[in-house]
Chain A
Amino acid sequence: MRMMASDEDLAKAAAQGDGAAFAALLERHYDRLFRLCFRLTGARAEAEDLCQDICAALPAKLRSWRGEARVTTWLWRVAVNAAHDRRRRRATYRKASDGWGDWEAARQADIADGRDRTDWLLAAMARLPEDLRDTMALVLDEVNHAEAGAILGVSEGTVSWRVSEAKKRLRALRATEEAR
């Protein structure tokens, strides 16, 4: 039965305290969630951490799900926002950090990152400004422009503009890369 139930039904049941429904829902979407996390962060370790944050907070978040959007739209929004928070925390932390101990920790983290960022495309994605990158992570994940707009809280037109802008930049990066 669970296998047949729609996302929305599962989410509703879960919001009312049905643990099995929650499990089924997350099980169903975990892989895609992870994929999105990976594309938002560009590194496996980062993606795993982000995914863990999301999973840990999801039960509480689910209570705020009002059924006004598709479950996946809502879930991707949670993911994108969690990614923002993570970046912001890091940025804040960097700004305020005041010791070489931090610097060393960050270096270690980056070594780990570098290990994962094995591909040009990922590196290139990582260089895009955050909004373009988030948009691309969604659009390249088979999310249409309208839905991406709903997730990111911008208009469909903005999404389309961002996509073409991102493509332009990726092409430019590629060009400089090859010229080198």
Chain B
Amino acid sequence: MTPDDDLDDLRSALEQVTPKPDPATRAAHLRLAQENFDRLQGAAHAPRPSSERPRRGAWSGARDMMNAITLRGGLTATTALAACGFLVLTPAGRTLLLEPFERGEVSASDPAPALAATEEAVARPSDPLAPAPEEASLPQAKVATGDEDARSVQAAPDLAVQEEMPGDLSGAASAEVPEAEPLPDPIAPVWVLPPEEAEAAPRSPSADPEAFAPLPPAVGRLERRAAPAPGGLLSRGLVLAPRSMDSLAPLPTPSTESFANADPNPLKVTAEEPVSTFSIDVDTASYGVVRQSLLSGALPPPDAVRTEEMVNYFPYDYPAPEAGEGPFRPTVSVMTTPWNPDTRLVAIGLQGQRPAVEDRPPLNLVFLIDTSGSMDDPRKLPLLRQSFGLMVGELRPEDQVAIVAYAGSAGLVLPPTPASDREAILGALGGLTAGGSTNGQGGLEQAYDTARRMASEGEVSRVILATDGDFNVGLSDPEGLEDYVAQERESGVFLSVLGFGRGNLEDATMQALAQNGNGQAAYIDSLQEAQKVLVDQLSGEMFPIAQDVKVQVEWNSATIAEYRVIGYETRALRREDFANDRVDAGELGAGHSVTALYEVTLVDSPARLTEPLRYQPERVAQAGSDEWGLLRLRWKEPGGEQSQLFETPITGTEEAGSEAHFAAAVAGWAQILREGGPLGDWGHEDAIGLATANRGEDPFGYRTEAVRLMRLSQSLSQR
């Protein structure tokens, strides 16, 4: 085969897999370009007075800034904000505000150059530092197309600041903006060139964004905002003035991209769009963030609240499947919507098989523990030791544990040891000390080797990687590492990832490892969370029972006029992806339960928001026309290739128990926190009442904790 044939083959192969642009997206992009084009023309002719700033900017900028603050620092800073309001402008307040960023490479300690840059940018209209006004339209455009693609939306705040910052400069700057040119200006590094501008500039070293944007973009921008505060630019500081406590609630979000969230699902008209499809979600990260935020005395940022993750944090006591019935059992129940007596809430609960604890196969666990220098932190190695200690207590005598540490050179700290020998295991855990640099791959290889040696027929082997995510050595080939893990998964050894602490997380690597290793990943921030993840859910974390679980409901337009999925915005799937086995979806662990809620409006309900159409033929369902809809579930056996289908009608007569009512209370609360959803005057009081009444047994107090948090958020929102 000649090289050119080769290339042609590639070319035609690539041709086949290259998709056509989606017509709607294409139209949206063309429209966006045209709008920007027109705006640019308009702006060139009629520059905006420099004192005017876009209305949306003031708040979104502040929010972005808050987004950029890491949790601890953010709380410090924002508490100061809440307490002092305008006093942010005082030196003390400023210091607090700046503190979190001084950790970054860009120093906030010298506001003068930033100030100078500001003035310079105003004074020099053609300065590329003042982004051309097309920046301003980006955020709207992102949101406009964001419905199908949550990531577009999540990108929006990132750009919002660009809209805001240039806003007060663009008046002067946009009069005539030739495209950005490399700017050999020593002041430039204080500014992060907007990426689009940077495109034209980066070839000159002084304008290379890499060189002066070592922080996440939002932090870099915040820098610019905070810096000019001294020097009498008082009006600039007013941006920080809170409109209300709510809107300035400290946002304990590590970065603008932390919270993938989309606008709340809109109302759908059954006659137009009868089918709703999404992937299950067993993640609970959102609840953790909400809890942290509330316990620190602030309402969580609305975007941090993912309703489905809040609802699914709690264990629910749905009926479990009978033996031989399949890996999980769906339970449909219907109730009057707590916040709207004229609509109904349909709760779909999936309960995973609970393998009898005594029947579970023996576990071979290899703790792969990161002992690099960065783990030397009270919230990392010591917490890790305690967490594993808790877990060891739950293991059975026939289980085996080995410990591999990795730092510098990987080492087997504890050879495979029966779980009954707790002394030895706890002793080895206690002897771990942090030091040296990390060698992720060497450690992984040794852990997998150990796990393979421990494995025997009918046992489950799993490597539990505990790290702060710092793979600073041996990461020359991340794909190699991923491939390695995926390959080991084929050999029957699974991988779970536990994250400890914050600070230097190689999120891409961790994420890839957990995914390829067929494992859950969890973030352990407290011993309580360790208890929940490692002990209470030991079986679920260790034994996946179904993967790629997708939910699809087809509503019957003869009975249901409108419906709305509550939550799952980031988990929506295209209708055609339901039956496409190559499309990935959520995994369900043993004993896990998942709840999805729909708010539906019956055709004869006074709450109906849309009128029936006059000229369109009323579509009459062929069979079972008094049914509300049909629930379809698809899942694969763990490791399986082909999905299986389960169907059951929703009749509307299924009585809801306390489990579904509690889920409804949490969903209502989440919607209050999200400030979205048609709740009317249904508020915290009602959510607390509903949740309290339906706490059920609550053996571990999770629901009681939720009620406590609800009360806390009630107080905070009344402030």
Whether the pair B195, A89 counts as a contact (CB closer than 8 A) is yes
A60 partner residues in chain B, CB cutoff 8 A: 36, 40, 132, 134, 177, 179, 196
Beta-carbon contact of B510 and A103 below 8 Å: yes
Q: Decide if B25 is an interface residue (CB 8 Å cutoff).
A: yes
Cβ of B110 within 8 Å of any chain A Cβ, yes or no, is no
Q: Which residues of B contact A136 (CB under 8 A)?
A: 10
Q: CA separation between A99 and B260, bound complex, in Å?
A: 13
Interfacial residues of chain B within 114-138, with CB under 8 A of chain A in the complex: 132, 134, 137-138
What distance in Å separates the Cβ of A43 from its nearest Cβ neighbour in chain B?
A: 10
In the bound assembly, the distance between CA atoms of A97 and B255 in angstroms comes to 7
Most central of A52, A88, A112 by chain B CB within 10 Å: A52
Contact A170/B132 with A30-B30, A34-B21, A93-B217 known, Cβ cut-off 8 Å: no
> Looking across the interface, which residue of chain B has its beta carbon closest to that of A21?
B37
Please determine whether A61 and B213 come into contact, CB atoms closer than 8 angstroms. no
How many residue pairs, one in A and one in B, have C-beta atoms under 8 Å apart? 254
Q: Restricting to B210-243, which residues have a CB under 8 Å from any CB of A?
A: 210, 213-217, 219
Residues of chain B contacted by A142 (CB below 8 angstroms): 11
Q: Which residue of B lies closest to A93 (CB)?
A: B216
Partner of A53, one of B25, B179, B195, B584: B195
Which chain B residue lies CB-closest to A59? B37
Q: Which residues of B contact A105 (CB under 8 A)?
A: 154, 257-260
A76 within 8 Å of B (CB atoms): no
**Chain A proximity mask over B13-53: 1 for CB below 8 Å, otherwise 0:** 11001111110011011101110111111001000000000
- Complex interface residues of chain B between 245 and 294 (CB less than 8 A to chain A): 253-255, 257-260, 283, 285, 289
CB contacts (< 8 Å) of A104 on chain B: these are: 258, 260, 283, 285
- A115 to B578, alpha carbons, bound, how many Å? 12
Do A30 and B134 form a contact, CB below 8 Å, given A56-B36, A78-B199, A100-B285? no
Chain B residues near A88: list those with CB within 8 A. Answer: 209-210
Docked-complex contact B178 and A64, CB < 8 angstroms:
yes
Asked whether B583 is an interface residue with its Cβ less than 8 Å from the other chain, the reply is yes
Interface string of A28-48 (1 = CB under 8 A from B): 001100110011000011001
Chain B's closest residue to A112 (CB) is B151
A114 touches B584 (CB 8 A): yes
Q: Indicate if A58 sits at the interface (CB-CB under 8 A).
A: yes
Contact A48 B149 (CB under 8 A): yes
The yes or no answer to B57 lying at the interface (CB within 8 A) is: no
Q: Do the beta carbons of A56 and B199 come within 8 Å of each other?
A: no
B577 at the interface (CB under 8 A from A): yes
Contacts of B507 in A (CB 8 A): 94, 97, 100, 102-103, 106
Complex partner residue of A86 from B22, B195, B505, CB under 8 angstroms: B195
Least distance between B98 CB and chain A CB atoms (Å): 17
- Least Cβ distance of A109 to chain B in Å? 6
**Contact B255–A51 (Cβ < 8 Å):** no
Choose from A56, A108, A164 the contact partner of B3 (Cβ within 8 Å).
Answer: A164
If over half of B's interface residues share one DSSP class (helix, strand or loop), that class is named, otherwise mixed; here it is helix
Given A49-B155, A94-B507, the answer on whether A115 and B583 have CB atoms closer than 8 Å is yes
B residues within 8 A CB of A180? 487
A107 touches B511 (CB 8 A): yes
Q: Restricting to B514-540, which residues have a CB under 8 Å from any CB of A?
A: 514-515, 521, 523
How far apart sit A95 and B149, CA to CA, in the bound complex (Å)? 25
A window 57-104: CB within 8 A of B: 57-61, 63-64, 78, 81-82, 84-86, 88-89, 92-104
Q: Which residues of B contact A111 (CB under 8 A)?
A: 515, 584
CA distance A109 to B29 in the complex (A): 21
A127-B479 in contact (CB<8A): yes
Q: Is B506 in the interface zone, CB < 8 Å from A?
A: yes
Q: B193-217 interface mask toward A, CB cutoff 8 Å, 1 = contact, 0 = none?
A: 0011011101100000110011111
Instruction: Tell me whether B417 is interfacial, beta carbon within 8 Å.
Output: no
Question: In the complex, what's the smallest C-beta–C-beta distance from B606 to chain A, in angstroms?
Answer: 39
Residue from B17, B33, B44, B512 within 8 A of A56 (CB atoms): B33
Once the chains bind, are A39 and B152 in contact (CB under 8 Å)? no
- CB of B499 within 8 Å of the partner chain: yes
Whole-angstrom CA separation of A174 from B114 in the bound complex: 52
**What DSSP secondary structure best describes chain A's contact surface?**
helix
Closest to B26 in A: A30
- Give chain B residues whose Cβ lies under 8 Å from the Cβ of A127: 479
Residues of B near A178 (CB, < 8 A) are none
Report yes or no: B33 in contact with A99, Cβ–Cβ below 8 A.
Answer: no
Interface-centre pick from A22, A35, A86, A97 (highest chain B CB count, 10 A): A97
Q: Which of B6, B19, B142, B289 is in CB contact (< 8 Å) with A44?
A: B19
Do A45 and B149 touch across chains, with their CB atoms under 8 A apart? yes
Contacts of B14 in A (CB 8 A): 39, 121, 125, 140
Closest to B503 in A: A98
Q: CA of A51 to CA of B39 in the docked complex: distance in angstroms?
A: 19
Asked whether, in the complex, the Cβ of B195 is within 8 Å of the Cβ of A26, the reply is no
Q: A22-B33, A106-B511 are in contact. Are A101 and B3 (CB under 8 A)?
A: no
Distance (whole angstroms) from the CB of A133 to the closest CB of chain B: 12
Contact, CB under 8 Å: A107 / B196: no
Q: Which residues of A contact B213 (CB under 8 A)?
A: 92
Asked if A97 and B505 make an inter-chain contact with CB atoms under 8 angstroms apart, the answer reads yes
Q: How far is the CB of B185 from chain A (nearest CB, A)?
A: 19
Q: Are A100 and B523 in contact (CB under 8 A)?
A: yes
Q: Does B78 contact A (CB under 8 A)?
A: no
CB nearest neighbor in A for B479:
A127
* Contact residue among A55, A92, A108 (Cβ-Cβ distance under 8 Å from B29): A55
Which A128-180 residues sit within 8 Å CB-CB of chain B? 136, 139-140, 142, 153, 163-164, 167, 170-171, 180
Does B508 count as interface, using CB distance less than 8 angstroms?
Answer: yes
Q: With A and B bound together, what is the CA distance between A106 and B513 in angstroms?
A: 12
With A94-B508, A121-B10, A121-B17 in contact, is A59–B40 under 8 Å at CB?
yes
User: How long is the Cα–Cα vector from A131 to B213 in the complex, in angstroms?
Assistant: 22
Taking a contact as CB atoms under 8 Å apart, the answer to whether A31 and B577 are in contact is no
Contact of A101 among B28, B155, B253, B512 (CB under 8 A): B253
> B148-181: contact bitstring with A at CB < 8 Å (1 yes, 0 no)?
0111101100000000000000000000011110
Q: Is B350 an interface residue (CB 8 A)?
A: no
Q: Does A6 contact B (CB under 8 A)?
A: no
Pick the contact of B36: A58, A106, A164, A170 (CB < 8 A): A58
Does B620 sit at the interface, judged by CB under 8 A?
A: no
Given contacts A49-B152, A57-B134, A104-B285, contact A30 B21 (CB under 8 A): yes
Return chain B residues, CB-CB under 8 Å to A35: 18
B176 shortest CB reach to chain A, Å = 9
Give Cα A57–Cα B521 distance, bound, in whole angstroms.
Answer: 38
Contact of A30 among B29, B150, B469, B504 (CB under 8 A): B29
Residue from A61, A121, A167 within 8 A of B13 (CB atoms) = A121
**Which residues on the A side are within 8 Å of B13 (C-beta)?**
119, 121
Q: Which of B151, B209, B479, B511 contacts A45 (CB 8 A)?
A: B151
Closest chain-A Cβ to B450's Cβ sits at a distance in Å of 23
A26-B33 in contact (CB<8A): yes
Knowing A58-B36, A106-B507, A127-B479, the reply to whether A38 touches B577 (Cβ < 8 A) is no
By the criterion CB–CB under 8 Å, are B33 and A55 in contact? yes
Q: Which residue on A lies nearest to B194, using beta carbons? A: A57
Q: Which residues on B sit within 8 Å (CB–CB) of A26?
A: 30, 33-34
Partner of A167, one of B6, B141, B215, B504: B6
- Which single residue of chain B is at the shortest CB-CB distance from A89? B195
Whether, in the assembled complex, B559 has its beta carbon less than 8 Å from a beta carbon of chain A, the answer is no
| A122 pairs with B199, CB closer than 8 A | no
Q: Which residues of B contact A30 (CB under 8 A)?
A: 21, 26, 29-30
A97 and B216 within 8 A (CB): yes
Chain A residues, CB < 8 A from B137: 56
Partner of B145, one of A39, A52, A118: A52
Does B400 make an interface contact (CB < 8 A)?
A: no
Complex CA gap A101/B515 in Å reads: 16
B30 cross-chain contacts in A, Cβ below 8 A: 23, 26-27, 30, 55
Known contacts A52-B152, A101-B285; can you find 8 more A-B pairs with CB under 8 A? Answer: A27-B30, A30-B29, A52-B141, A56-B138, A92-B210, A102-B255, A102-B505, A170-B10
Q: What are 7 pairs between A and B in contact, CB < 8 Å?
A: A45-B149, A49-B152, A49-B155, A56-B134, A63-B177, A89-B217, A109-B151
